[in-house]
Copies of this chain bind each other. A is one copy, B any other.
């Protein structure tokens, strides 16, 4: 399960690139494949992009010498399973009729194929497979007779899907959130500087003060020291914020869609304890996924909290293959159970979600081998039955175990004594009870219907 991307924008700061760097650092959980920063140096756009973690992509020289300027935008990108491409690492940069543009994007459009075909028929050439490039082409094709703000607004009226977007256009910083507000985007202030970020955890690291969200369907333009707000014509009455940001993606110390993640996840755990109590010796999370729901579960149920699966903190990326005898090796690399705590115990385990169910199955098997007496799994969201078209990579529906199997089947497949998923109602209540979430992955109710040709994507066009 992978989040699309993370965004950071800095306006009016002598160390804009450096702040963008640390902002991306705080947003690293939103994408580990690649990172890029673009700055406006007063005359032109400077950029550095690379594959890998933020700390690997940039060095001191990039930040202090090359990325000059008072305005910066930065982007972290998620890791695909297939071929990864430096070419696709954002921000996307271009120069067009006197405008220098850098654009970064979080989310996923659902009418990409049609838009590309139409743009190509007008002579547009594409160099990447990113949605950012589509925005830029659409804006460019509408610049004649329009300001860049208008052109971007027209572009937004043509694209369908999820997008939080940051653009650097000469000395302007522009932030846009799609009409439904699928993906988060927040505004902060740091002295006389502005900071735009996917999550508030980046504001915290930079010691910026949280002001408010960029609203769904809102375009923020910051220039000449001022922040102006516009609304897109196709702004929707109801938000459709991705509830998975609350369940899984956003950092627990962030506030997203106006909700504190930590407290929200605790509430999900409490709801689970109410809906599906169980008599057990203790309750533990699978680190790091279920920790906060587990904290809520134990507070409501009174069962003792333990953290008897130990995470190896130094596990970085090793490229060494295990030997052939090492079965289930990947599972052991990340988490090791405390044997003496497992034997003969009745255990409630809290997880935030199940996608394919294979990793959790290996872990349960390991706990059985160590002598666990009873193993009860509680999941802090309903079964994921439908694919996401707005930026969460559950992969194809075929791989979603709950799409084709009953809860009983899954319980048996994983090898549990009992399995319970939080009800949709319980989840919504834990999230505040309002009707403003996209719940499509649970109920198939898609706020924006993907075009017929969705999925005929160009992801394999270039391999480098």
Contacts and interface: CB of A to CB of B under 8 A. Distances in A.
Interface of A: 15, 18-19, 21-22, 25-26, 28-29, 32, 41, 43-49, 53-55, 58-60, 63, 66, 87, 93-97, 100, 120-127, 136-137, 140-141, 144, 191, 201, 204-207, 251-253, 255, 260, 262-263, 288, 291-292, 295, 298-299, 304-308, 310, 312-323, 325-327, 332-333, 336-341, 458, 460-464
Contacts of A332: 204-205, 207
Contacts of A307: 291-292, 295
A311 to B, nearest CB: 9
A59 B320 CA distance: 7
Nearest to A138: B123
A127 B93 contact: yes
Given A123-B123, A253-B310, A333-B205, A461 B136 contact: no
A45 to B, nearest CB: 6
Given A97-B120, A124-B124, A318-B55, A336 B205 contact: yes
Contact of A125 (B94, B288, B310, B339): B94
Contact of A320 (B43, B58, B262): B58
Nearest to A36: B464
11 contacts: A18-B323, A25-B333, A58-B320, A63-B320, A95-B462, A97-B121, A125-B125, A125-B137, A251-B312, A262-B308, A295-B306
B462 A44 contact: yes
Given A21-B320, A96-B126, A201-B310, 12 more contacts: A18-B323, A28-B314, A46-B464, A47-B464, A49-B464, A55-B316, A207-B326, A251-B310, A253-B339, A260-B339, A263-B338, A295-B305
A138 to B, nearest CB: 10
Contact of A93 (B22, B94, B462): B462
A302 B460 CA distance: 56
A47 B83 CA distance: 12
A318 B25 contact: yes
Contact of A136 (B122, B125, B304): B125
Contact of A94 (B126, B136, B288, B325): B126
A331 B423 CA distance: 39
Contacts of A93: 87, 127, 462
Nearest to A117: B97
A72 B137 CA distance: 30
Contacts of A252: 310, 338
Contacts of A122: 122-123
A147 to B, nearest CB: 17
Nearest to A340: B260
B125 A123 contact: no
A460 B60 CA distance: 22
Contacts of A100: 461
A338 B126 contact: no
A462 B46 contact: yes
A462 B44 CA distance: 7
A262 B205 CA distance: 32
Q: Which 10 A-B pairs have the closest CB atoms?
A: A28-B314, A253-B310, A15-B323, A262-B338, A123-B141, A260-B340, A55-B318, A253-B336, A46-B463, A47-B464
Contacts of A26: 312
A449 to B, nearest CB: 26
Nearest to A288: B313
Contacts of A304: 299
Nearest to A22: B322
Contacts of A333: 25, 205
Contact of A44 (B22, B32, B325, B461): B461
Contacts of A340: 255, 260, 262-263
A94 B458 CA distance: 12
Contact of A462 (B29, B47, B325): B47
